[in-house]
Structure formats: structure tokens, C-alpha cells
């Protein structure tokens, strides 16, 4: 047995390794779901409703059935008894109302794009051709389209429910015993403080992952095998079993390499259920891959809220109370976590500020539109947007510098751990440090000077500076807390670490990646822990037969929950290896220490005997000479249930130039300093931040799902759904401060959603800041050139320009939080100041 | 999505291509670079019986000097035009505009003639071609005819080219030494123009001697801004004077209202962008 003296090159944690999965992902040398071809495989094409709300009078499939290559045409009526209902895993209240959610509509469609029939044919082209021949006779029904009108029940999305309101959910700090009475403090502030009331529109977005959704089901073995482009193979397996009445043990779900999700693949989809049903009916493998148009139309959407906020503060700027009233668009149905998505923001409107009282009320409303569900950040971007817009409005109201006002009100670093007005315990953070670094990188003072100069010169191009100091709750989530919120599952995660005879390591994780780089990060964790080479760690995931336990990837939970499970499993491997190493070294187990992958007698010095983890693994495999009573295996498992959320935070600063002649917004500088706790791989963290920023900035400037007055998605292709590319953004300046999380051994807080959550208000605040001196106080997202131009042109006028309804305020200046003047309203020019005394 | 099934023929000569059109009548559709047609087929907005691919007709490709003008073959790809020295010297406005089309992949496939024959009013090729007094060489069973710009564009996606005819080339009088600028207004770079302004200016001393202006997406066809051109003649190269001369550039236009902006906003943009384009073209 030779003793290795060469020290290991470097610690893996903190090493900006290039991702080991990228070669196959970037070159396309991998197997996406749509690449799978099975013997005798059939192809599906969907027939979708062109109407937002209609009765299905008849579905004539005869011509389609006779078309070349067609094996079956399936209608809702054909499968009404066996298709079950798509699951809603999060009923937020006991009296929540929801319609049945069929995979194939049976007698009524509730949104444009809903599946009414499915053609199963020998080729994808034949299926598509035959789908054109299915003749559906509809009787149109009044559709609930506008969210506010829907809340008023002007037309019913589901007449049988008798209302469009699905549920009303409230958190009140006085009732919860975590803070004071909101109404009392607001009333007091009306007398001798300041009250700011605003209403914001958080528009509907489309997740727009790169790989369209695709599903293959093979019914020919003992088990049904489903390959699907999903974020949640484990949840999907469970839900297929419960929805379709198949034994869970007879279903295997595989998420092969998945090309992005952003929450858009955190779903059990009609298309997955339909592919399963088609495979079961035909007895042959079936494939369905959506087109981009179908993806934009029928994959779930995100956001879509009206947000009314009332903020009370002292005259010196100290914030006291925050009251939030949300109207959230569910769309036509409740998907997996549709109902709970706005509630994920419930505890985040207070953000990093020390409010004395807080109340959050959310009304979930059905409309006849594509259903909404999780989209990167899910509830928390909406919260961050609203509170960071409000802090700017308060600063304007008080004539204060916006960063300085935030500083006055945020939790100081010495106050951690800090219990928020919602009762959440923020474990760690340092807002001062992140902000100081961001201000320095940004040259905040220099840009403010330039802004002043441009204003004084009356430049046609004005400069604006926007701030977002944010936090989020992620690492979803402690099972007990999910239980209290009535969520249908826990929040644990599972891992196995297997020591192979050759000293190589297999890590099995329940966190199924779809682009995040888990294979690299998990390898780094285990290489450090077990002292093996990074290259010697193989990470296995995404197949319920290989990784049978798991709760999948969403909510920035992978590293802080799944990674922690990996660390714990690796710890157990070391514990199991110790008595065997001691036996090999003829020493007492208690005398051994494990350093850099080797067991040695503590204090024996450099010449002392030692044994490597690989040598222990080989000896364990051989099992020729193990201590009495020791099982011949080092393999270990751990299931970790977090004790708390994690709370990344950061300071984002954006400078934009606004062309006041055209309304065009150009980004000038973007700096963010994020504290995501301990960083395992800086390159992956930076990549997550960059992608998140692009998506968050896109909400501020570019993206919006728009429906016409018939409920047809107008932004139904990338011609009109203006997804930005790298050419539209600038080079971001990113940096990090580190205050480790205290609730996992890694110290990580999660980074998947941070950039997306933080950036939107920084950009919108900067656009408004650029034109605030012209009398503009709000511009609705996305801040399109026309909206910006209209806001400038009509600012300060006593009456709105009659030729442009867009130019009117989105609430009545005399009465806070009034409804918008009409459906044509795009731009809010809020000439309302706070109603301070 | 998968297009409806169609036949396909790729003739080697213009005559064979014309014969194919004759044979198949209005069931035939010409495919050039395919960058607009393929999405239309894939979305099943159109389902021709047969595609006649001009990709192998080499006589339709290239930029040639015919003395007073340039002849640009209809099948000349964008990226070929962008690197063509003749085009750069004598029809720079067209090059400026083509450089803004979509992205490098599309510019590698898309063709000048394909874009003109497709006649999307939001496309970037029509306005500079109109501004530069392009003539359109159309061939058909009855021989060749030359169509002026004013007559070529008829309506949305409609030109003077008949079902049995092919746009073979455009002929552009040389605008050697003219200052040029294509001002394209978009929200994201790969988008169709919300509004575009193509301006070519001949400068004499401190004065605009002559200006030619084409507008993108300000109506059902590309638009020539004749009145603004006349107003600019003899105007000093100075912001206020140019602004005054182009103030009515959008009068009489009929731009669309859509998600990217309403008609009034487009008229306003046309005015701002024309001023900027003319000043930039004049070297201000």
C-alpha cells in the first residue's frame, strides 16, 4: 500500500470550473426527448380550440380517421371516464373553488388553445395533416378576459362555479401575532405621517424555455415508461399514478437532458396525460412534441396581477405599515401550483424593511385565458417589483434620496437573525456591504452628476438611475411550513452516494437538472468531501428508476436542499468507511482523522500510515477482511428536510438613457452585487445571474402576453412576443458578497431566481427616474417606447389627450386605487402624489 | 409546425423556372431564400401545391455594373450584397438597410429579390429600393418588362409580378458619393421594423442639394416621401431647417396600429427618424 504524498491541487468549493455537462448540451450531442425513436412509435397532433370560451356541440372525426396513416382520433368524450382531472397540488384555502381540469375538453372549452381532440398517426406529418380534418362545432360563450372585470364577475369563466373568484387568502400581522394592526397605523399616518397608495400592473409573461415540451410514452414493457421534458419527473410519476389510477410502481418517468424550464416545466401537463392515454389505448409507443406556437399558446403563463399597495411612514421616512391587495389571474384552470404562486410572494412584500405592521390579501380569479403557474421567481418577483417601486415613490413623496431612504429602513447586519413582520426568520445577510460594493462599481455619484447635468441642459436623451435592494425566500422548503400553507407535498430532497470498487463515486440526486449545472456543482461538493478527483464523480439524476426519491428542481432549492442531502450522504460514507479504514490501519476508529481523501491516525505526522477512500472502497468491495459485524458497503443515503427557507439578497443598480423624442430606452449600465451565501462554483453563479437579469429586464422592457378582445393570444409567436437576445442587453457587472446561510452545511442560499426577481424594478425605477422631472410617475410594464413617449407627452396635463386613451392615469387621481379607465389603457401616468397630510 | 405536403422542383435556368410556373399555374409558389415563406408554410398560413426553388438559377445571382446603374440579381443573398464593392460604392443606402435585416443566419439565406417580391411593408429592402429609384425587371412568358417602383408595390404582400412571372433583378441608378442612412426603429434587434426611414442625400457645400427618402412600415407598401424630398432641396444642413422640411413627412401615410405601436405614434416616429436619417446622411 503506497502512501500518496502529493497534496490535492485545490479545494473544489469556490472553483470556477467549466461545466462538465456543457460539451454535450452545447454541441447537441445528447438525447433530448424529441430525439427518441422507438420501434413502432406513433405521433400525436393536437386539435386546439380557437375560442376562449365555447360549448363543444360536436366533434366530427370521420374524415380525420380516414386520412393516411391515422391510427386513432381521440376526443374528450372518448376518454371522459378515464382521463381523470389534472392535479392542483396547492389548494390555498379550504373553500377554494376550481373547475375540473380535463386533459381533453369534453363538452366545453375555457381558453383558446385548449385541446379538444388528438390525432394519433404513423408520422408526425400525417398526424398534423389529419388534425386539420377534425371538424369541431362550437357555440361561443361570453368570455371572462379582463382581470378586473372578471373579478367583478361580469362574465363567468366557468358558469357552474357561479363566480370567478377561486379563493381569497390573507395574511395579517396582527392576527398572526407577528406585528401590529395595519389599518391603525395607516390611519395614524394619515394624520401625522405620510401614506403612499399605488396600483401596479404585473403583466402576463410566457416562460419561453429553449426546448419545447416533448413527451414519449412506451407502454410495451412491464412498466409504462414516460420520457418527458419536465422539471419534475418524481412529482409527475406520482401525479400520473394518482390521476390515471395506475399503480405508482408501474410508472417510470425519465427526464433526459431538458432544455430549460424556468418554472414552465414545473407542471403535469394535459399533453403528458394525453400521450400516456394514447399509448395505453394503442399499445404502442407514442410521441408528442409541441410547436413553438403551441408552447406560447398552451404551456402555462406566469405573473399577471394587479397590485394595490398602501404604505404608511413617519414624516422622517421610517416605514410603519404596508397593506397589499393582489388580484391574481389564474387563467382558465388551476395547474400544479397555480393557486399558490402569488402566495409565494405573500411574505416578501415587506422585503428587507422593518415594517411594524403588514397585511397581504390575494384574490385568485379565473379568466378564459391560458392558465398561469410558476415562472422564475413565482410570486417573489411580483412582490419585489411592487415594494421597490413603492420605496421610490415614498422617496419622491418625501423629497429623499432613494438609496438613503432604503438604508434608513432596512434590517442592519447586526440585527440578524431577524424575525420579519411575517414571522419569517432571516438567518443572515448584510445589506450595507452589498450596497456599498454596488454603489462603488456603479459610480453612483458620478451618474447622478451626469443626470443633473443632462436635466439642466434639457438633453433630448435623459439619464435615469434605478435601485432594487431585494431579498427573496428560496430553498423551497421546510415540509412543515409547506404543510401549514396546505401545499400537497413536502420540501425534502434525497441523495445517494455510492462508492464503486475502483474508487469512483456515483452520486444519485433527486434534484433533476434542466440546465442548472448540477452535475458539475454536485461533483465539486463530493470531490471536496470525499477527497476524490472531480472527474471521478458521476452524477445521476432524472430517472425515477435510477433516482427513485426526489422532489425535483424549482424555487432555487437544488443546492440548498438537494446539495445538502448530497453532503450528508457523503458524510455518512465517511462514517461507514472509518471502522474499515481503522481495521486496515490496525488502529482505533476514534483515533482516525479523514483529510484530503485519506484516513490516518491523528497526530501521526507525515510518515504515518494512511489509507485512501479508494483503498477502503476496494477493500469493502472485496470484503475479504472486514471487521466483525460490518456490512460490506459504503453506500449511503440521506434525505434532507430544511429547517428554514434561505434568504439571498442583493443590490441592483441600473442606469438607462431615455430618448424623450421616441420613448426608446437604452441600457447604459447594470451593476448587481448579490449575496447568495457560499458559492460552490462562481461561473455557474454568474451564469444564473446573467440569465436571470435578462429575464427580469425583459419583463421591464420587452415581454408581454397580449390577448385580443376575443381572447386570442396576439403575441403568439416570437415576432410579437419580443423575447430579447444577447444583442439587446448590455454587459452586466456582477459581484458577490458572502454571508453564509446558517441552515445548511454548505452555507449556500440559492441563486436560480435572484437575477430575475431583483432586476425588474431596478429597470422600471430607472426609466421613471429618467423622466420623473417631466412629470411622469409611473409607466406600465413592459415600458415600450410608445408607453414611455406617451407618458412624457401627457405628463402634467390636466386632461388626457383625447386621441390616446393610453395616456390617462391608471387610477383616479382623487381616489386612490381606482379601476383603470378602459381596456385600451396601456400607460399609467400617475399625477397622484401620496396622500400625506 | 409541419407544413402541408407540397411538391418541389429546383430548375437550373430561368426558362425552366418560367415553364414550371406555366405548368402548375397558381398552385405554384416561388421560393427564394425561404426566410419568410417557410414560416408561412410551417404555420399553414399558405399551402401551395408546388414550390419552385430558384436557388439553382445562377443567372439570377450577383451584382453587375451596366454603366449608369447597377443590376442586382433577384437571388443575390443579403450577405453577398453586404460584401459587394459595387453595391457599397453606388447603392450604399440599400446596403445600410440590408445590414439591419434580422440576424446573420437569416442574412446568409435571405435574398434581395425574395424580400421585394414578398412585399412585406415592414421589410427593410423596399424603402431603400424605392428611394434609390429602383426599376424592377420582371420576366414572364411574354418576355421581359421593367416596372417602376411606384407601380411595383401594390398592397400588403402584393406586387405587380404576375403568377406566371418572376422578379429577375432590380436596376438601381448609381448614387455614387451620396450620403446615406437607414434609421430602423425596433424594440428588440431581431424584430421587423416598427418604422424605418431610408435616406440618401447629395450634399453641395453646406446645403442639401437633393434628398431621396423611403419609409418602411408606414402603409400597406413601402412609401416614397416625395414632398419631404422636395422640401429638403436647398435646405442648409442644420437641425432646425431639416426638422422643418420633414415635419410633414408622415402626412398621407396610413401606418398600421399593432402591439409595437399605434398609427399616430408611428407617424411621430417617422418624423423624428426622417430628421435624424437626413442629418446623418448629410454628415451632420
Whether residue B36 lies within 8 A of chain A, CB to CB, comes out as no
Instruction: State yes or no: pLDDT of A67 exceeds 60.
Output: yes
Average pLDDT over residues B114-135: 98
Cβ neighbours of A128 in B, within 8 Å: 1-2
Q: What is the pLDDT of residues A187-214, one digit of tens each?
A: 999 999 999 999 999 999 999 999 999 9
Cβ neighbours of A804 in B, within 8 Å: 262, 264
Instruction: State yes or no: pLDDT of A38 exceeds 50.
Output: yes
Determine the distance in angstroms separating the CA of A779 from the nearest CA of chain B, rounded to an integer.
15
**Cβ contact B187–A128 (<8 Å):** no
Q: What is the pLDDT of residues A654-687, one digit of tens each?
A: 999 999 999 999 999 999 999 999 999 999 999 9
Instruction: For residue A562, give the DSSP letter.
Output: I
Determine the distance in angstroms separating the CA of B4 from the nearest CA of chain A, rounded to an integer.
7
Average pLDDT over residues A609-637: 96
Give the pLDDT of residue A11.
Answer: 87
Return residue ranges of chain A for CATH 3.30.365.10. 22-28+492-640, 41-409, 427-472+646-830
Torsion angle of C-alpha atoms A430, A404, A324, A762, degrees rounded to 10: -80
Is residue B98 within 8 Å of B84, Cβ to Cβ? Answer: no
Torsion angle of C-alpha atoms A86, A89, A90, A91, degrees rounded to 10: 60
Which residue in A has a C-alpha nearest to residue B3's C-alpha?
A: A125
Average pLDDT over residues A603-619: 91
The CATH architecture one would assign to domain B7-51 is 2-Layer Sandwich (3.30)
Count how many residues are written for chain B. 284
Q: What is the pLDDT of residues A534-553, one digit of tens each?
A: 999 999 999 999 999 999 99
Rounded alpha-carbon distances, angstroms, from residue A342 to A55, A307, A456, A542: 30, 11, 43, 28
Instruction: State yes or no: pLDDT of A6 exceeds 50.
Output: no
Question: A797 pLDDT band (50/70/90 cuts)?
Answer: low
Average pLDDT over residues B50-69: 97
Question: A502 pLDDT band (50/70/90 cuts)?
Answer: very high
Task: Write the residue in A661, A701, A725 that is nearest to B189 by C-beta.
Answer: A725
Average pLDDT over residues A223-228: 98
**Cβ contact B259–A715 (<8 Å):** yes
Give the pLDDT of residue A813.
Answer: 43
Task: Write the residue in A706, A728, A786 that is nearest to B265 by C-beta.
Answer: A786
Top residue of B3, B260, B265 to mutate, by most chain A CBs within 10 Å, is B265
Task: Write the residue in B187, B261, B269 that is nearest to A722 by C-beta.
Answer: B187
Residues 6 or more apart whose CB falls under 8 angstroms from that of A127 comprise A43, A44, A45, A69, A70, A119, A120, A121
Return residue ranges of chain B for CATH 3.30.43.10. 7-51
Is residue A540 within 8 Å of A511, Cβ to Cβ? Answer: no
Residue by residue, DSSP assigns A717-782 as STTTS----GGGS---EEEE-----SSSTT-B---TTHHHHHHHHHHHHHHHHHHGGGT----PSS
Instruction: State yes or no: pLDDT of A811 exceeds 70.
Output: no
Query: In chain A, what percentage of residues exceed pLDDT 70?
Result: 94
Instruction: State yes or no: pLDDT of A821 exceeds 90.
Output: no
Cβ neighbours of B42 in A, within 8 Å: 291
Average pLDDT over residues A312-323: 98
Return residue ranges of chain B for CATH 3.30.465.10. 61-173
Q: In what order do the strands lie in the sheet with A610-612?
A: A592-595, A598-601, A610-612
The CATH architecture one would assign to domain A427-472+646-830 is 2-Layer Sandwich (3.30)
The CATH architecture one would assign to domain B181-281 is 2-Layer Sandwich (3.30)
Is residue A787 within 8 Å of A823, Cβ to Cβ? Answer: no
The CATH architecture one would assign to domain A22-28+492-640 is 2-Layer Sandwich (3.30)
Instruction: State yes or no: pLDDT of A807 exceeds 70.
Output: no
Size of interface A-B (CB pairs under 8 A): 64
Radius of gyration of chain B (CA): 19
Instruction: State yes or no: pLDDT of A835 exceeds 50.
Output: no
Sole residue written with cell 453577398:
B80
Query: In chain A, what percentage of residues exceed pLDDT 90?
Result: 92
Instruction: State yes or no: pLDDT of A66 exceeds 80.
Output: yes
Determine the distance in angstroms separating the CA of A359 from the nearest CA of chain B, rounded to an integer.
36
Return residue ranges of chain B for CATH 3.30.390.50. 181-281
Q: What is the pLDDT of residues A721-732, one digit of tens each?
A: 999 999 999 999
Task: Write the residue in A702, A714, A727 that is nearest to B187 by C-beta.
Answer: A702
Least confident of A124-128, A384-388, A607-611, B102-106: A607-611
Any idea which fold A41-409 has? Aldehyde Oxidoreductase; domain 4 (3.30.365)
Pairing of strands B69-73, A70-75: unpaired
**Cβ contact A789–B188 (<8 Å):** no
CA atoms of A755 and A761, how far apart (whole Å): 11
Burial of B86 (0-12, 13-18, 19+ CB in 10 A): middle
Cβ neighbours of B194 in A, within 8 Å: 785
Give the pLDDT of residue A10.
Answer: 52
Give the pLDDT of residue A216.
Answer: 98
Question: A7 pLDDT band (50/70/90 cuts)?
Answer: very low
Give the pLDDT of residue A309.
Answer: 97
The listed CATH number (2.60.40.1120, 3.40.50.300, 3.30.465.10, 3.30.1330.20) that belongs to domain B61-173: 3.30.465.10
Amino acid at each position: 500500500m503506497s502512501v500518496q504524498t502529493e497534496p490535492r491541487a485545490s479545494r473544489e468549493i469556490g472553483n470556477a470550473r467549466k461545466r462538465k455537462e456543457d460539451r454535450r448540451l452545447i454541441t447537441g450531442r445528447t438525447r433530448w426527448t424529441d430525439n427518441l425513436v422507438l420501434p413502432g412509435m406513433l405521433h400525436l397532433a393536437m386539435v386546439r380550440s380557437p375560442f376562449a370560451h365555447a360549448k363543444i356541440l360536436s366533434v366530427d372525426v370521420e374524415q380525420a380517421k380516414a386520412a393516411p396513416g391515422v391510427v386513432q382520433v381521440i376526443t374528450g368524450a372518448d376518454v371522459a371516464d378515464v382521463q381523470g382531472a389534472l392535479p392542483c397540488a396547492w389548494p390555498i384555502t379550504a373553500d377554494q373553488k376550481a373547475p375540473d381540469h380535463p386533459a381533453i375538453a369534453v363538452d366545453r372549452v375555457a381558453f383558446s388553445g385548449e385541446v379538444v381532440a388528438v390525432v394519433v398517426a404513423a408520422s408526425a406529418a400525417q398526424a398534423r395533416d389529419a388534425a386539420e380534418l377534425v371538424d369541431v362545432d362550437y357555440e361561443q360563450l361570453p368570455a371572462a378576459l379582463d382581470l378586473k372585470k372578471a373579478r367583478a364577475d361580469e362574465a363567468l369563466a366557468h358558469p357552474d362555479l357561479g363566480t370567478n373568484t377561486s379563493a381569497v387568502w390573507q395574511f395579517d400581522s396582527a392576527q398572526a401575532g407577528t406585528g401590529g394592526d395595519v389599518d391603525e397605523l395607516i390611519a395614524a399616518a394619515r394624520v401625522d405621517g405620510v401614506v403612499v397608495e399605488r396600483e401596479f400592473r404585473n403583466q402576463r409573461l410566457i416562460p419561453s424555455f429553449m426546448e419545447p415540451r416533448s413527451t414519449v410514452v412506451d407502454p410495451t414493457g412491464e412498466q409504462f415508461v414516460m420520457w418527458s421534458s419536465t422539471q419534475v419527473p418524481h412529482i409527475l410519476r406520482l401525479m400520473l399514478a394518482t390521476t390515471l389510477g395506475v399503480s405508482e410502481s408501474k410508472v417510470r418517468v425519465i427526464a433526459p437532458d431538458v432544455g430549460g424550464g424556468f418554472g414552465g416545466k414545473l407542471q403535469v401537463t394535459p399533453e403528458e396525460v394525453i400521450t400516456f392515454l394514447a399509448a395505453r389505448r394503442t399499445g404502442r409507443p407514442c410521441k408528442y412534441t409541441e410547436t413553438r406556437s403551441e408552447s406560447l399558446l398552451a404551456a402555462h403563463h406566469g405573473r399577471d396581477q394587479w397590485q394595490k399597495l398602501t404604505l404608511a411612514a413617519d414624516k422622517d421616512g421610517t416605514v410603519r405599515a404596508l397593506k397589499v391587495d393582489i388580484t391574481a389571474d389564474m387563467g382558465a384552470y388551476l395547474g400544479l401550483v397555480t393557486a399558490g404562486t402569488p402566495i409565494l410572494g405573500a411574505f416578501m412584500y415587506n422585503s428587507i424593511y422593518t415594517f411594524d405592521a403588514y397585511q397581504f390579501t390575494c384574490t385568485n380569479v379565473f379568466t378564459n385565458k391560458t392558465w398561469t403557474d410558476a415562472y422564475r421567481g413565482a410570486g417573489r418577483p411580483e412582490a419585489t417589483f411592487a415594494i421597490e417601486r413603492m420605496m421610490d415613490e415614498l422617496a419622491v413623496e418625501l423629497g429623499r434620496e432613494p438609496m438613503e431612504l432604503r438604508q434608513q429602513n432596512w434590517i442592519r447586519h447586526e440585527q440578524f437573525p431577524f424575525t420579519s413582520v411575517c414571522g419569517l426568520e432571516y438567518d443572515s445577510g448584510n445589506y450595507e456591504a452589498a450596497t456599498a460594493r454596488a454603489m462603488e462599481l456603479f459610480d453612483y455619484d458620478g451618474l447622478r452628476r451626469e443626470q443633473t447635468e443632462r436635466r439642466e441642459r434639457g438633453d433630448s436623451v435623459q439619464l435615469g438611475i434605478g435601485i432594487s435592494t431585494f431579498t427573496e425566500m428560496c430553498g423551497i422548503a421546510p415540509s412543515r411550513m409547506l404543510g401549514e400553507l396546505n401545499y400537497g407535498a413536502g420540501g425534502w430532497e434525497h441523495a445517494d452516494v455510492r462508492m464503486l470498487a475502483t474508487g469512483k463515486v456515483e452520486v444519485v440526486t433527486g434534484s433533476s437538472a434542466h440546465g442548472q449545472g448540477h452535475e458539475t456543482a454536485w461533483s465539486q461538493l463530493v470531490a471536496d468531501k470525499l477527497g476524490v478527483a472531480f472527474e471521478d464523480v458521476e452524477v445521476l439524476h432524472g430517472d425515477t428508476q435510477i433516482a427513485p426519491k426526489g422532489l425535483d428542481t424549482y424555487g432555487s432549492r437544488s443546492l440548498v436542499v438537494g446539495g445538502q442531502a448530497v453532503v450528508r450522504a457523503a458524510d455518512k460514507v465517511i462514517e461507514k468507511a472509518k471502522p474499515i479504514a481503522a481495521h486496515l490501519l490496525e488502529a482505533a476508529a476514534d483515533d482516525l482523522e479523514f483529510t484530503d481523501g485519506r484516513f490516518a491516525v491523528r497526530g501521526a505526522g507525515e510518515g504515518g500510515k494512511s489509507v485512501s477512500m479508494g483503498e477502503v472502497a476496494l477493500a469493502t468491495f472485496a470484503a475479504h477482511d472486514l471487521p466483525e459485524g460490518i456490512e460490506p458497503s459504503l453506500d449511503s443515503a440521506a434525505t434532507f428536510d430544511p429547517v428554514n427557507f434561505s434568504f439571498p439578497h442583493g443590490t441592483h443598480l441600473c442606469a438607462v438613457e431615455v430618448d424623450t423624442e421616441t420613448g426608446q430606452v437604452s441600457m447604459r449600465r447594470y451593476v448587481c452585487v448579490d449575496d447568495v451565501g457560499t458559492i460552490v462554483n462562481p461561473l455557474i453563479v454568474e451564469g444564473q445571474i446573467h440569465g436571470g437579469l435578462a429575464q427580469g429586464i425583459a419583463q421591464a422592457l420587452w415581454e408581454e402576453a397580449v390577448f385580443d378582445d376575443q381572447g386570442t393570444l396576439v403575441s403568439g409567436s416570437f415576432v410579437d412576443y419580443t423575447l430579447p437576445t444577447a444583442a439587446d442587453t448590455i454587459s452586466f457587472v456582477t459581484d458577490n458578497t458572502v454571508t453564509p446561510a446558517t441552515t445548511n452545511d454548505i452555507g449556500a442560499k440559492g441563486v436560480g431566481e435572484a437575477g430575475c426577481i431583483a432586476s425588474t424594478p431596478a429597470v422600471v425605477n430607472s426609466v421613471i427616474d429618467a423622466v420623473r422631472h417631466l412629470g411622469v410617475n409611473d409607466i406600465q410594464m413592459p415600458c415600450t417606447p410608445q408607453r414611455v413617449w406617451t407618458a412624457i407627452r401627457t405628463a402634467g396635463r390636466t386632461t388626457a389627450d383625447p386621441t390616446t386613451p393610453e395616456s390617462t392615469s391608471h387610477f383616479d387621481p382623487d381616489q386612490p386605487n381606482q379601476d383603470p379607465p378602459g381596456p385600451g389603457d396601456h400607460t399609467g401616468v400617475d399625477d397622484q402624489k401620496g396622500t400625506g397630510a | 409546425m409541419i407544413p402541408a405536403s407540397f411538391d418541389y422542383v429546383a430548375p437550373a435556368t430561368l426558362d425552366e423556372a418560367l415553364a414550371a410556373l406555366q405548368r402548375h399555374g397558381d398552385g405554384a409558389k416561388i421560393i427564394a431564400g425561404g426566410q419568410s415563406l417557410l414560416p408561412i408554410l410551417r404555420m399553414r398560413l399558405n399551402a401551395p401545391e408546388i414550390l419552385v426553388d430558384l436557388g439553382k438559377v445562377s443567372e439570377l445571382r450577383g451584382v453587375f455594373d451596366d454603366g449608369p446603374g447597377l443590376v442586382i440579381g433577384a437571388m443575390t443573398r443579403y450577405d453577398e450584397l453586404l460584401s459587394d464593392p459595387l453595391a457599397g460604392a453606388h447603392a450604399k443606402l440599400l446596403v445600410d438597410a440590408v445590414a439591419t435585416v434580422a440576424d446573420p443566419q437569416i442574412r446568409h439565406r435571405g435574398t434581395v429579390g425574395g424580400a421585394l417580391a414578398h412585399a412585406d411593408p415592414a421589410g427593410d429592402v423596399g424603402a431603400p429600393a424605392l428611394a434609390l429609384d429602383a426599376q424592377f425587371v420582371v420576366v414572364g412568358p411574354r418576355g421581359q418588362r421593367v416596372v417602376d417602383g411606384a407601380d411595383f408595390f401594390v398592397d400588403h404582400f402584393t406586387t405587380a409580378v404576375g403568377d406566371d412571372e418572376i422578379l429577375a433583378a432590380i436596376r438601381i441608378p448609381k448614387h455614387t458619393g451620396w450620403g446615406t442612412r437607414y434609421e430602423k426603429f425596433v424594440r428588440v434587434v431581431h424584430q421587423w421594423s416598427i418604422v424605418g426611414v431610408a435616406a440618401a442625400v447629395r450634399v453641395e457645400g453646406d446645403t442639401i442639394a437633393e434628398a431621396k427618402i423611403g419609409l418602411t412600415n408606414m402603409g400597406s407598401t413601402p412609401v416614397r416621401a416625395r414632398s419631404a424630398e422636395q422640401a429638403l432641396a436647398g435646405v442648409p444642413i442644420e437641425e432646425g431647417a431639416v426638422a422643418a422640411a420633414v415635419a410633414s413627412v408622415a402626412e398621407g401615410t396610413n401606418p398600421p396600429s399593432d402591439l409595437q405601436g399605434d398609427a399616430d405614434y408611428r407617424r411621430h416616429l417617422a418624423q423624428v427618424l426622417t430628421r435624424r436619417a437626413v442629418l446623418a446622411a448629410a454628415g451632420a
